[in-house]
């Protein structure tokens, strides 16, 4: 492909998730242990209350780390109802004893319940219980309006923010799996089509060649003239088979522009990527120009689905009396990545190829010069056209192919 885009495989996803959970765990430990260490200097608390807040906060941190921070992505496992109930109950108890100083504990307890996004029930239950606890403390302490709102609203907001974040992570993971499946399905479908075409094309010819060769071998001693005739027919069949294979390969490498635009729209829609496709003045393009633009559309659209993480794609094809142009732009993040197993070029910006075969460096993301871009550039150069592939600001990628309608142009 033209661009090893995205490149976050399963191993990268696991490492990123691990780092994110570690950072979150460190922040939780800091904000929970800090008030627990300060209880011994609080004159208004009794000794039993101080030891309860201190020991309860440590137990709360351990339970939260084990059941809310350490587990994998939300939705990847069943909801641990019993541990969550213990976390929620302990958090409310610590908050009631420690009051406003331990509001963070209440918020973390609610968020721990909300992160299990396979069902919204933990978030709803935690939000309701924490809001009631905040209301009770606000009434008992005669808190002002602002403090009352904080005591009642912060914990439910934490629960639903955690639930929304979990849902977002689930959707992103599902989208990545879908894109990978689409890429594998597309490759498998093309392989199956080629195998079927070659089987239908060569099955009869190769069988005939085998029979002719066997017959010529049997009669070459007793009937040389007949053997010579069989060999001549064998040569004719072989030449025709070679011509058929060349035509089949040439037909595979020269797609139709209208068909590729329709295929790109379908592929992007199946991947959940919003696509804007515009085509003007392309109804009577020369066959070679039509094939070059179609190849650019196919490569660009497939590349977006497999590697870009884009949410929006714009495809523009237009032609005037001199040139025809195809342009694909997306809003995917600018990050180097693996090229899906295809050979990649050396690190550095790719080439912008001109009609004279010269190359100009373009500022873009590294590791971009894959075999798809090289093949497309070769095809465009053979027609006297120009190819540009580069990152755009603030994020996204642009592929543009301009081909003259005649060699003179």
pLDDT digits (tens, 9 = 90+) for 159-181: 888 888 888 878 887 888 888 88
Same domain (yes/no): 22, 158: yes
Looking at the predicted structure, is the pLDDT value of residue 96 above 60?
yes
Same domain (yes/no): 234, 297: no
**3 located within any domain:** no
Domain boundary among 253, 276, 297: 253
Residues 67-92: what's their mean pLDDT?
Answer: 75
Per mean pLDDT, which range of 118-127, 203-212, 298-307, 335-344 is the poorest?
335-344
pLDDT tens digits along 180-204: 888 888 888 777 767 766 665 676 5
Which helix (H) or strand (E) element contains residue 326?
Answer: strand 323-330
**298 located within any domain:** yes
**1 located within any domain:** no
**4 located within any domain:** no
The answer to whether the CB of 56 falls within 8 A of the CB of 93 is yes
CATH number reported for the structural domain that contains residue 364 in this entry: 3.30.565.10
For tokens 């190769």, the residue is 206
Radius of gyration of the chain (CA): 33
**154 located within any domain:** yes
Q: What is d(CA 384, CA 402) in angstroms, rounded to the nearest whole number? A: 9
Domain boundary among 159, 177, 195: 177
Same domain (yes/no): 164, 187: no
pLDDT, greater one: 310 or 192: 310
Model pTM? 0.42
Q: DSSP code of 5?
A: B
Band (pLDDT 50/70/90 cuts) for residue 363 is very low
**5 located within any domain:** no
Same domain (yes/no): 18, 151: yes
**342 located within any domain:** yes
Closest CA relative to residue 123, chosen from 135, 111, 136 = 111
CA angle 68, 69, 71 (to 5 degrees): 80
CA dihedral 135, 141, 147, 151 (to 10 degrees): -30
Tokens coding 321: 């009396």
Band (pLDDT 50/70/90 cuts) for residue 6 is very low
Residues 302-314: what's their mean pLDDT?
Answer: 82
Please state, for a pLDDT cut of 70, what percent of the chain lies above it.
Answer: 77
Looking at the predicted structure, is the pLDDT value of residue 371 above 70?
no
CATH number reported for the structural domain that contains residue 231 in this entry: 1.20.5.1930
Residues 348-355: what's their mean pLDDT?
Answer: 43
Q: What is d(CA 289, CA 327) in angstroms, rounded to the nearest whole number? A: 14
Tokens coding 166: 């979990």
DSSP readout, 252-320? HHS--HHHHHHHHHHHHHHTT-EEEEEEES-TT--HHHHHHHHHHHHHHHHHIIIII--SEEEEEEEE-
Same domain (yes/no): 274, 394: yes
Looking at the predicted structure, is the pLDDT value of residue 316 above 90?
yes
Q: What is d(CA 3, CA 399) in angstroms, rounded to the nearest whole number? A: 10
Average pLDDT, rounded, for the chain: 76
What b/e readout covers 69-88, taking b as 16+ CB neighbours within 10 angstroms?
Answer: beeebbbeeebbeeebebbb
Q: Is 105 helix (H, G, I), strand (E, B) or coil?
A: helix
Same domain (yes/no): 154, 223: no
Closest CA relative to residue 81, chosen from 56, 113, 59, 117 = 113
The answer to whether the CB of 397 falls within 8 A of the CB of 332 is yes
What is the extent of the structural domain holding 203? 182-253
What b/e readout covers 16-30, taking b as 16+ CB neighbours within 10 angstroms?
Answer: eeeeebeeebeebbe
Q: Domain tally for the chain?
A: 3
Same domain (yes/no): 166, 194: no
Same domain (yes/no): 240, 322: no
Please tell me the predicted confidence (pLDDT) of residue 250. Answer: 62
Tokens coding 93: 């108890």
pLDDT tens digits along 247-269: 766 655 456 788 888 878 877 77
Please tell me the predicted confidence (pLDDT) of residue 1. Answer: 41
Same domain (yes/no): 64, 163: yes
Domain boundary among 177, 195, 223: 177
Please tell me the predicted confidence (pLDDT) of residue 9. Answer: 52
Same domain (yes/no): 143, 187: no
Please tell me the predicted confidence (pLDDT) of residue 141. Answer: 81
CA dihedral 250, 253, 254, 260 (to 10 degrees): 150
Q: DSSP code of 169?
A: H
**2 located within any domain:** no
CA dist list (Å): 319 to 260, 289, 297: 17, 11, 15
Same domain (yes/no): 228, 321: no
What's the start-to-end Cα distance of the chain, in Å?
29
pLDDT, greater one: 318 or 116: 318
Same domain (yes/no): 122, 190: no
């Amino acid at each position: 492909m033209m661009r090893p885009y995205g490149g976050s495989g399963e191993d990268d996803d696991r490492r990123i998730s691990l780092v994110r959970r570690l950072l979150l765990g460190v922040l939780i430990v800091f904000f929970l242990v800090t008030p627990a260490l300060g209880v011994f200097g609080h004159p208004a608390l009794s000794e039993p209350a101080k030891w309860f807040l201190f020991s309860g906060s440590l137990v709360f941190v351990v339970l939260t780390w084990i059941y809310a921070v350490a587990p994998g992505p939300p939705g990847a496992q069943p909801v641990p109802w019993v541990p969550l109930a213990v976390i929620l109950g302990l958090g409310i108890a610590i908050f009631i004893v420690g009051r406003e100083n331990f509001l963070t504990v209440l918020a973390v307890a609610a968020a721990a319940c909300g992160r299990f996004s396979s069902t919204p029930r933990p978030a709803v239950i935690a939000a309701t219980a924490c809001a009631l606890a905040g209301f009770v403390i606000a009434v008992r302490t005669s808190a002002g309006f602002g403090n009352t709102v904080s005591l009642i609203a912060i914990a439910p907001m934490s629960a639903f923010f955690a639930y929304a974040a979990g849902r977002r992570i689930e959707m992103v993971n599902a989208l990545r799996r879908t894109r990978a499946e689409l890429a594998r399905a597309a490759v498998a479908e093309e392989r199956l089509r080629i195998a079927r075409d070659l089987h239908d094309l060569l099955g009869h010819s190769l069988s005939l060649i085998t029979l002719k060769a066997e017959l010529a071998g049997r009669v070459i001693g007793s009937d040389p003239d007949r053997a010579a005739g069989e060999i001549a027919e064998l040569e004719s069949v072989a030449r025709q088979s070679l011509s058929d294979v060349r035509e089949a390969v040439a037909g595979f490498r020269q797609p139709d522009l209208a068909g590729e635009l329709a295929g790109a729209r379908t592929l992007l829609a199946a991947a959940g990527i919003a696509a804007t496709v515009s085509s003007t003045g392309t109804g009577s393009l020369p066959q070679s120009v039509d094939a070059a633009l179609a190849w650019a559309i196919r490569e660009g659209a497939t590349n977006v689905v497999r590697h870009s993480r884009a949410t929006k794609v714009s495809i523009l094809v237009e032609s005037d009396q001199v040139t025809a142009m195809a342009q694909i732009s997306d809003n995917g993040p600018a990050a180097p990545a693996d090229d899906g197993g295809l050979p990649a070029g050396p690190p550095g910006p790719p080439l912008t190829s001109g009609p004279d075969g010269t190359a100009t460096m373009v500022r873009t993301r590294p590791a971009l010069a894959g075999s798809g871009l090289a093949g497309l550039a070769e095809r465009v150069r053979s027609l006297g056209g120009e190819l540009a592939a580069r990152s755009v600001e603030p994020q996204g990628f642009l592929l543009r192919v301009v081909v003259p309608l005649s060699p003179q142009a």
